[in-house]
Every structure is written in structure tokens, then in C-alpha cells.
Structure 1
Amino acid sequence: MTDGARQEILLHGQDALVARRVARIAEEHGFSVGRTSDPDARPTAAVLELDQPDALDTVREWHERWPETVILGYSAFPDQQLWRSAQRAGCDVVVNRGAVGARLAERLAGGLAHRRFPLLDAADAAGRLGLVCRVPETPVGPVAVYQVAGRLYAIADRCPHAGAQLSTGELDRAVLTCPRHGSQFDVRTGERCRGPADSEAQIFTVAREGGQVFLVLPSGEQR
């Protein structure tokens, strides 16, 4: 892979205004813009118009071919069903047409280090306490989402001691007890409160945006 390929932003769409904004942002950050890309290359970011008939298939293809590329999808009108489908297909960011420039600039300025994986609709967590949901398949393995004092927390749903499913254990305030051997962990911090586990549980950052709750993936994890 060449240095030029690493600095490319791939653009797929017919919107002239978006094309101008992407070109301006790319120039400001030292990137080139390509309409097509060498199969052996890996664009740093890819921007795609979701209103095109083949958009979701293209997202899936890009996500499979370039798992490290940040994919930004946009549409002319808010469409929650389309946005969710795009996120499930592999889009890291989905925005309205007018927000493409700002969100792309934000990602480039931040080094594109953080990826997100959709966990649930924010409305599904409203008014719920304790375990909100278990997501069995994420890029970091099964994750359990808890709500404590109005805040959401995500914890790896696997005890670091012997691999038991933590979400089947009892939660007392913020302390989760492993159902197998009784180890206890704070779901807010992952801190081990009681053994026999000798290490803390892994926790993940959670973000809310556009009516959805996302898991913020650690740097280096693929979606």
C-alpha cells in the first residue's frame, strides 16, 4: 500500500455540494479525493450517498474490503430506518447531507481512532434500571449494557475469572455479582470488588447520538 493510498478519501455519490465540501476538507487536512480506488489500496475514509439504489451493498463491500476505513454515509432527508440499515451494513457515521463536512473534518482531526458499533435505540433504555440489554455479537465479544443512576454503562459479558456470563448475575446498585463463583465488579468502572477473580472486568465507552446508543470501540478493533 502506498502513502498516497493511505491519504485518500473515497467519494461515491452525485451530490455536487457534498463533493465540494469533501474536497475542501480533504485539502485542509492533506488528503486527496478519489472517485475510484485501486483494489490493493485502503482509503483512510470513504463518503457515500445513501440515497443511491446500491448504497447498502456498496457499504457492505467497502466494509469487507477495507475494515479499517471509516465509512461516512449521508442522505438528503432524515430516514431512521435507512440510517439504522446503513449502520448495520458497516457505516461508522451516518448524517444528513448538510453535516457531511463538519463530521468528516471532526473525524480527520481526531485521527479516525474511534469506531462505533450500534447497540440499541436510546428509547429502549428510557426508564429502565439495571440490565438494559445483552448484545451477544460485537467486535469485542458479548457486551451487557446497564443503566445506573440515569447513565448507561457497557461491560464485557464474560467474567475474567472463568468466563461465566456476567449478565445472568445480580446487580446491587452498581455492583454486579458473577453467578458462577461470586466475583463482584462495579459496572461503572470494571473495578473488582471481590474475588476469586484477580483482575477487573473490561468496560467500554458508550455514546448517544441520533436516537441511538453506540459502543465506542477501542483503537485497533475492527467493526
Structure 2
Amino acid sequence: MQINLDTPDLMTRVRLESRWRSAGAVVTSSQTPEAPDLVVVDLGSRGVEAVSSWRERYPDATILAFGPHVEGAMLKAARQAGADEVVVRGKLADRVASKLGC
């Protein structure tokens, strides 16, 4: 699976990339990846607008947005902007891992 992780947070990126790569995924953080299967968007850093932008560029990709649990309105807005799934930050690693079969 080709995953593009859109977050500027280095600690988040390193932790998630390591886990997903060990499960067999190819993980990038490019703003112009080659046809990702899954785009993971950090709403806390990128905002809801990023979801719309990714959806426009990659209409066939699955978009999973994540953010702080206290930002319920932002999470709801992300789904309205085109995210296929929206999760709180603490559930993100496990949600993607389940998609990878681990």
C-alpha cells in the first residue's frame, strides 16, 4: 500500500512511518506523491482545506484525516470536505495498521 502522510510534525511522522513501513507499506511525505492509495492528513497542522486539496488532486485515493479529540467541529468539517474517514489523533496508528492487516 502506498501511503502519503501529510504532517509537518516530525515526531508524529517518524513514529507513524516506522510502524507502517514495518507492516509493509510504502510511506512518503511528498506534496506530489505518485498515486497514493491512502492519504493521511493532519488537521491540526494542515487544516480542513488540505482535505479538499488532496481530494481534488487524487479523487480515487482514500483520505483519512486526523486531529485532536477536542476539535469535534474540525473533524466533522473534514468529512464534509471529502475525507473518507476521520479519527482522533490517538486512534490513527491503529486505524491505518488495521488497513495493513496488522
TM-score, normalising length: structure 1: 0.41
AA at the equivalent of 2:6: H
CA positional deviation for 1:22: 2.0
Report whether the alignment pairs 1:25 with 2:19.
yes
Offset from partner CA, 1:161-198 (integer Å, 9 cap, x none): xxxxxxxxxxxxxxxxxxxxxxxxxxxxxxxxxxxxxx
Moved over 6 A (4+): none
Name the one with the larger strand percent.
1
The aligned runs of 1:24-43 (5 Å cut-off) are 24-38=18-32, 41-43=34-36
Offset from partner CA, 1:16-54 (integer Å, 9 cap, x none): 343133212321332222111546x210111111012x5
TM-score, normalising length: structure 2: 0.81
C-alpha contact 2:48 2:74 (8 A) present in aligned 1: no
Which residue number in structure 1 is paired with residue 77 of structure 2? 85
RMSD over aligned Cα, in angstroms? Answer: 2.2
CA positional deviation for 1:76: 2.8
C-alpha contact 1:43 1:69 (8 A) present in aligned 2: yes
How many residue pairs get aligned? The number is: 102
Q: 1:76 to 1:14 in 2, by over 3 A?
A: farther
SS of structure 2 residue aligned to 1:10:
strand
CA distance in 1, matches of 2:9, 2:85: 18
Which residue number in structure 1 is paired with residue 68 of structure 2? 76
SS of structure 2 residue aligned to 1:109:
coil
Report whether the alignment pairs 1:65 with 2:57.
yes
Report whether the alignment pairs 1:48 with 2:41.
yes
CA distance in 2, matches of 1:85, 1:44: 22
CA distance in 2, matches of 1:9, 1:82: 23
C-alpha contact 2:65 2:85 (8 A) present in aligned 1: yes
C-alpha contact 1:45 1:72 (8 A) present in aligned 2: yes
CA distance in 2, matches of 1:37, 1:16: 15
- Aligned-residue identity in percent: 27
SS of structure 2 residue aligned to 1:91:
coil
Which residue number in structure 2 is paired with residue 16 of structure 1? 10
Offset from partner CA, 1:146-170 (integer Å, 9 cap, x none): xxxxxxxxxxxxxxxxxxxxxxxxx
C-alpha contact 1:73 1:91 (8 A) present in aligned 2: yes
Name the one with the larger helix percent.
2
